């Protein structure tokens, strides 16, 4: 997560190499909650997040 110039939180995707890419997961600061049945999100879409400790 990062904060934009207006103070809004912005979630940015990590480069991810698949389910065995533990390094990318370890770098994550948050997870987004994607509703069941949704397979893609447009850039700028509002999402719910779960912040990760660290």
Instruction: Write down the domain spans for the chain.
Output: 2-51
Q: Which residue has the tokens 């770098």?
A: 27
CB distance 49 to 11 below 8 Å? yes
Determine how many CB atoms are found less than 10 A away from the CB of residue 29.
14
Degrees to nearest 5, angle at CA 19 with 34 and 2: 50
Length in residues, the chain: 54
The whole-angstrom separation of Cα 4 and Cα 34 is 22
The whole-angstrom separation of Cα 3 and Cα 6 is 8
pTM over 0.85: no
The reported pLDDT for the residue numbered 4 is 92
The reported pLDDT for the residue numbered 31 is 92
The reported pLDDT for the residue numbered 54 is 77
Q: What is the pLDDT along the chain (54 residues), one digit of tens a residue?
A: 899 999 999 988 888 788 888 888 888 899 999 999 999 999 889 999 999 997
The reported pLDDT for the residue numbered 14 is 85
């Amino acid at each position: 997560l990062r904060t934009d110039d207006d103070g809004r939180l912005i979630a940015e995707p990590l480069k991810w190499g698949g389910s065995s890419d533990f390094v990318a997961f370890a770098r994550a600061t948050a997870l987004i909650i994607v509703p069941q049945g949704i397979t893609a999100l447009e850039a700028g879409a509002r999402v719910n997040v779960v912040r990760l400790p660290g």
